[in-house]
Amino acid sequence: MKFQVVGKDINSLQGEALVVGVYQDQVLSPVAARIDEKMSSLLKDFLKDIHFKAEVGKCVFMPGHKDVKFKNIIIVGLGKKEKLSLDTVRQAAAAGLKEAKKLRHKEVYFELLGEEALGDETAKALAEGIELADYQFDKYKKKEEDEVKIEKIKVLGEETVNSWLELGQKLAAATNFTRDIVNEPGNVIKPADLADIAQKLAQEYGLACTVYDEERLKAEKMHGILAVGQGSAHPPRFIHLIYKPQNPIKRVVFIGKGITFDSGGLDIKPEQFMKTMKCDKAGACAVLGIMKAVAELKLDIEVHGLIPTAENMPGGNAFRPDDIIVYKNGKGVKIANTDADGRLILADALIYGSALKPDVMIDMATLTGACMVALGRFTTGIFSPQGELAAKIKTLGEKTGEKFWQLPLDDDLKEEIKSPFADIKNVGSRYGGAITAALFLKEFVGEEVENWVHLDIAGPAFLEKAWKYYAEGATGVPVRTMVEFLREIK
């Protein structure tokens, strides 16, 4: 989709559709107010007559006017002005775009929604809301002959907002790239396919990429990845991507869980919990999206993307309950449940990532249903010994619209994962399951890593119905927040 800044002189503009904003209590945005004046208060009277409450994400449209040279005017709700946020702008922009598509417009003008309160940064949010809302995973659906696609977005603003629009588009593109891979089914994306995508990404952006096959995994003693993948006809892989500028100011490691399909293994999942398990690679796909954005933005941070990937299937060679794995760091793990597989492959990556001696190491995984029970479907659980770091991510999430909440690394729950037959086991009781999973991972974070964060994205990574500017399916969480984290790191 092409964006173009066209200035603010409403008198010189004409087109198919114009999207403007209105706050609650009939408070019009600056552009809406100018339109209303040209229409002799017809806009305000229309909103009053239809009792439009201007709730965030709601919209209506009215035909143009002889003194306003647009076929349709789309009015989007911005809620209460004192509660305006960047995410309000994303939701309003998404609503405006969807309405324009319903009206079959190919070119849409957008007011810089919320600019009067939030400044030029609203352009980034506007671009994100539009691009994220325009996404549909329809690769396997027959295209309708009369389908209309919006081709141009024209923004009422000054040239200074161009860089913000470009940033928003790049962040949204990286997110949508992530969504595409997550939404692909297990018969299309297997561990080797994920490695192929990483290698193509590396080739396109000049990244270094190393892929470990089974023999290399054995040599590196990555026994967790090997165990989880041994029941599948599709062998596991470990992927290491590197973005390294000339004079990096920091080194950051991202780790993403890449279970390309999770049947639960021999402890097989019930049908209702298995049917969306193509999303169990969402953490790995997010790492790929982050690496894409980092390379496009040319950040001055050295970034490593680590992806342990396997398919967890039952079979004659599958790993079993009661098996014991010994990791490269010497820690023995008893398998209490083969469905607690993500933490087993992440453990190898955490050992590997620790050896890189990063300033910050962040892993992300669709790890536990327990986190969804605690926080719901829309919020990522944060676990970290560093409260300030966790708080930073939560605050950034408030700007990006990706919700985070810190949960405790409660040492009293360590008893839950102790085993009489090994150092630890891979699952505790049903209580505090997200916490015991995080405590398990912490066992594999090396002492040389001061700043470690675990993100449990089980809830928001994949939606069963549309929400805000996301369609049903993958969301690309937490790509945008992680890139913003890198942009602000000192």
What is the rounded distance in angstroms from the CA atom of residue 309 to the CA atom of residue 192? 9
Beta-carbon contacts of 198 under 8 Å, excluding residues fewer than 6 positions away, are 209, 211, 239, 241, 288, 305, 307
Which residues are identified as catalytic? 269, 343
CB contact at 8 A, 112 and 137: no
**Which residue shows structure tokens 């300030």?**
388
